[in-house]
Structure 1
């Protein structure tokens, strides 16, 4: 079993994730149940709408008119009644001033509603000390404001109910179980794990006929049976007490009227219930903690779900960007390789020689090589390099990289042509040309032209070969640089998403802690009395009855 301090700390930590404005009451409930976990007193609260006889019932239990009572709404503050050797009242104000009195007349000034039905705002606490055996051993009795008047009184009552171990709900025989009372029971008690409750049916003496009394009692009894209680089996939930006749009978010391008012039976049962419940205080308080923890869990789970969705939506957007970026990278890489390959194929020696050797040789022969190189050859090269460079620059711009330097194009210098020597005719060829019309001369000239043309072609070939070698080296270097740049950089997660993920982890840790608290419900089984304890408490009940009768 976790310690009360551990449970309290876990619940308060989880409460930090609750929006204080939207869940103000829940946050307050958490604070209250955590305080109650370590409260050494056994608290009993008397709750009912105004003018149902709360203060009168307390007076009947104490055997003396201590609480102020009127026919109109009276109690405007939470009055704590504790054990003391003598009757004493202590009022603590906001200013720090403490007012003490040896009677309870001062309550009329500080704890009673004024004519406008308003309570004093400067009162922090109202305590009454009285030497009654019911209050011994740390029992604290609370007289609460009525629940059918102002919202601020309702808030006081609702908060205090989380800080008591037993609730006495007073019902008016003339209007038992109004719809408002049923809603109060569910919203203020059962929904918050407060199930240690007993009902007192007051003012049955005001009903005229036995039939009316039986009808009302049976109706109330059938209704109270539907409410789940955490009281040990064997104890009734409903008790009939005529509070005003009881206090009058006690003043008159009329034993028969005291007995018939029901106060003896109720007070004896109350003593017995207190004896039983004080043994299982931790268990009943845990029921409230788990109920409030479940409400906190519901709020946090909704918040965690929303946060999870926000993170997932952000991740989906980021993943879509990454996928699109990778696809774009793949396309640009492929397109770049295609353009480079096309250029490289054009730079093959066979292609260059087949396409440009003759033109280059002719330009060499005519002395227009530089013009050919600049106007014909260079323009084709630029069309290839610009196509590659444009794609590379576009890729770098898209991926936010620095553009590379341009492809270096090195044109070899104008090649030197080693022209062949013209072969002169020997005497026989010269003499023969006299008779054959210069055939030998023409033959030698033709051979010379062939060799000369071959020399120009060889020079062009060497030029193209040198150009190819230099250009391929430059292209290979450029290709490596650009391939290292055509890389889509995966964008980092935004700091907002990272913070949300850390926040969600902490939130889930608190949710797990709350689940651990909720699991404690498994250990809070219905308290069953074995026959020995039943007999023991029966003797205790009889003893209390006898003591009260003889008192």
Structure 2
């Protein structure tokens, strides 16, 4: 049990230190007293009462000599502890650490009585007197306290000392029984602090007249009965002792007078009570510990709860931001993966040839290739590049991991061709495929022959020419030139595709460092506050455990640790399924066309010019065959997008809108509340309007979207999506009247959607 007390003492001291209690505060002094009390193996009896009530006289009578100072004025200026010793001696400890050890008790006159101004000495820490008394030899200590109701400093000393005693002997003056001050002390210093092992001693009854003695005796019984002392059964908590006659009787050895003074009856009862209480020290000490521990717990709780609330609030806000970033990471990954997939699909050679080869070959034939590259190919590429890069800049704004690089896919050198020798007959323009399309290729041939070349390009790329026709040796001149244009643009687009896909693959790998969300530890502000909170909670929980071990009732539950802030380590995981599926085929295509591209570029050199002029048809025959096998008819200049393309545009717009909203939440101080609001937003109807005009607009908006009034936001969004897919103007390209109708319809739909989502 003593070991358990030692652990409890350590917990109380740790809690007191963690509370930063002022050294002279009452709670701090009480903790010191109760801790000293718990580890003291002796049974301590304090004689307590106002000054000049005969406390020292009573103790001297019990000890059998004049051990303690006795006078008619308040004399005891320190708490004097009387312990067992083989002879009478005194030990005094001073503030500066000096120990004064003397035989007898004369030294008390110097250090343990009040001075001429009735002040205690400031330099005395403790006073101990050792006596060879059989009662003390049983492990009992007496504590002679200064008188109360004299000076505040003395009262504070007495109050502190009372908490560290097992039994209180409260001396009453029968001539002025239980004054207001004594009643207050009984309540505040004893009962409220769990000190209930109290014995009342009435002194000076012998100085009263017989009739007065009866009245006082009745009042004493009332006092004793009104105070429920926790003494062993069968023992009274009230005794009469005439202290001065008892002392005189002891000094003279007069047993009869000692009996008549009430001293012997009191001593007998006291020794029996102490003997029983010593066997069950816990029942005496623990109520006092409980009273102090309750105050410590309340003080700890008052300090813990605000910090816990602050930590929880900070953690919630931090987690809300992390959740927003996680959601943003997923949206950005999704958008980036879609954009890079679209760009890689666009860069695939079959798609490039299908969409651009015809126009590119015509532009080459018309000496307009540079303009076509800038106004068509580059424009389309820039849109796709920007659509891809924007996601990485979104990621950098959220995560600040690594600044993204711009995606730059260069164009190959402009293709050049060497014309075959011109035939003598320039008038052969009537064979199949020689369709005149104004403008001509004047820089090559000029006049109607140039026009025929342009027509042949269209014919060769769109007409399924019979194999025997292609192998005919009588191939027209303009068809030879057309095949050269087709082959040159195929090599150009092949080189562009191969290089673009290679650059895109490297760019895709770099994205991992940009779309990177890493939170490995809590922010320093939260970590520091959590550390402070953890120390308080740990000592609170430890104190609870130690109190439970010694069977002290506990009204609190242990604190649970607040879950730590969310920590993640999320990297961008590429999703290049489409990109990878087209890449092997593309790489093979690039390898197959590498020599052709080199051959095309080499045709501009003087050494290769003669060879190309001698037999251009043979050099281009395989290229043209390959083109006809791979290339589908070129697209029309105005093509309606498929519904899935419109859906993709709408989806990208949704992602942009969602990320913009999350950015606003990140900048908002109350991001947690905003987040909670947004999580339920889809299930709520728009805010009710304030004016009749607003009500009318909202009613009309619901009608335009085909919804019932007060439809949820998710229903509004779904209706809008459906109408966009139905009425997007791009779906009616080439149909002017229907496209105009669609534009008017979409204007109304967009206006209705804006009203319902912003109201």
Tell me the distance in 2 between the aligned counterparts of 1:6 and 1:522: 14
The Cα offsets for residues 300-328 of structure 1, whole Å up to 9 and x where unpaired, read as: 44444444334323321221221121132
Tell me the distance in 2 between the aligned counterparts of 1:338 and 1:216: 101
Q: Which residue of 2 aligns with 1:157?
A: 158
The 5 Å alignment of 1:84-483 reads 84=85, 87-94=88-95, 96=98, 98=100, 100=102, 102=104, 104-208=105-209, 210=211, 213-247=213-247, 258-281=258-281, 284-340=284-340, 343=343, 347=347, 356-357=356-357, 359-374=359-374, 376-417=376-417, 450-451=455-456, 455=482, 456=485, 459-460=488-489, 463-464=492-493, 466-483=495-512
In structure 2, do the counterparts of structure 1 residues 208 and 389 end up closer, same or farther at CA, with 3 Å as the change threshold?
Answer: same
In structure 2, do the counterparts of structure 1 residues 322 and 22 end up closer, same or farther at CA, with 3 Å as the change threshold?
Answer: farther
Q: Secondary structure at the match of 1:232?
A: coil
The 5 Å alignment of 1:6-17 reads 6-17=7-18
Q: Secondary structure at the match of 1:235?
A: coil
The Cα offsets for residues 264-310 of structure 1, whole Å up to 9 and x where unpaired, read as: 32122122223323333465345544544444344344444444334
In structure 2, do the counterparts of structure 1 residues 138 and 403 end up closer, same or farther at CA, with 3 Å as the change threshold?
Answer: closer
Structure 2: any 5+ residue segments left out of the alignment? 430-446, 461-481, 554-759
Greater mean alpha carbon deviation, residues 362-371 or residues 414-423: 414-423
Q: Secondary structure at the match of 1:489?
A: strand
Tell me the distance in 1 between the aligned counterparts of 2:457 and 2:351: 23
Q: Which residue of 1 aligns with 2:82?
A: 81
Q: Which residue of 1 aligns with 2:438?
A: none
Structure 1: any 5+ residue segments left out of the alignment? 430-441, 525-551
Deviation of 1:76 (Å): 0.8
Tell me the distance in 2 between the aligned counterparts of 1:148 and 1:18: 31
Number of equivalences = 511
| 8 Å Cα contact 1:293-1:517 kept in structure 2 | no
| 8 Å Cα contact 1:419-1:452 kept in structure 2 | no
The Cα offsets for residues 392-415 of structure 1, whole Å up to 9 and x where unpaired, read as: 234224312223433231313322
Greater mean alpha carbon deviation, residues 113-122 or residues 308-317: 308-317
Greater mean alpha carbon deviation, residues 488-497 or residues 348-357: 348-357
| 8 Å Cα contact 2:361-2:457 kept in structure 1 | no
Deviation of 1:66 (Å): 3.9
Provide the aligned C-alpha RMSD in A.
4.1
Q: Secondary structure at the match of 2:414?
A: coil
Q: Which residue of 1 aligns with 2:582?
A: none
Tell me the distance in 2 between the aligned counterparts of 1:445 and 1:71: 141
Deviation of 1:385 (Å): 1.9
Find out whether 1:515 has 2:517 as its counterpart.
no
Q: Secondary structure at the match of 2:146?
A: coil
Deviation of 1:238 (Å): 1.6
Tell me the distance in 1 between the aligned counterparts of 2:263 and 2:513: 94
Tell me the distance in 1 between the aligned counterparts of 2:547 and 2:168: 23
Tell me the distance in 1 between the aligned counterparts of 2:177 and 2:428: 155
Higher relative contact order (CA 8 A, sep 6+): 1
| 8 Å Cα contact 2:7-2:546 kept in structure 1 | no
| 8 Å Cα contact 2:22-2:28 kept in structure 1 | no
Q: Secondary structure at the match of 1:195?
A: coil
The Cα offsets for residues 482-508 of structure 1, whole Å up to 9 and x where unpaired, read as: 255213222521355445555655555
Deviation of 1:46 (Å): 0.5
Deviation of 1:144 (Å): 0.6
In structure 2, do the counterparts of structure 1 residues 242 and 189 end up closer, same or farther at CA, with 3 Å as the change threshold?
Answer: same
Deviation of 1:118 (Å): 0.7
Q: Secondary structure at the match of 2:200?
A: strand
Q: Which residue of 1 aligns with 2:52?
A: 51
In structure 2, do the counterparts of structure 1 residues 424 and 272 end up closer, same or farther at CA, with 3 Å as the change threshold?
Answer: same
Calculate the TM-score normalised by the size of structure 2.
0.58
Deviation of 1:99 (Å): 5.6
Tell me the distance in 2 between the aligned counterparts of 1:426 and 1:512: 105
Q: Which residue of 2 aligns with 1:539?
A: none
In structure 2, do the counterparts of structure 1 residues 144 and 366 end up closer, same or farther at CA, with 3 Å as the change threshold?
Answer: same
Q: Which residue of 1 aligns with 2:522?
A: 493
Q: Secondary structure at the match of 1:309?
A: helix
Q: Secondary structure at the match of 1:160?
A: helix
| 8 Å Cα contact 2:93-2:125 kept in structure 1 | yes
Tell me the distance in 2 between the aligned counterparts of 1:463 and 1:98: 109
Deviation of 1:77 (Å): 0.8
In structure 2, do the counterparts of structure 1 residues 516 and 332 end up closer, same or farther at CA, with 3 Å as the change threshold?
Answer: closer
Q: Secondary structure at the match of 1:199?
A: strand
| 8 Å Cα contact 2:426-2:449 kept in structure 1 | no
Q: Which residue of 2 aligns with 1:41?
A: 42
| 8 Å Cα contact 1:294-1:518 kept in structure 2 | no
Deviation of 1:170 (Å): 1.6
| 8 Å Cα contact 1:80-1:143 kept in structure 2 | yes
Tell me the distance in 1 between the aligned counterparts of 2:293 and 2:349: 83
Q: Secondary structure at the match of 1:329?
A: helix
Calculate the TM-score normalised by the size of structure 1.
0.77
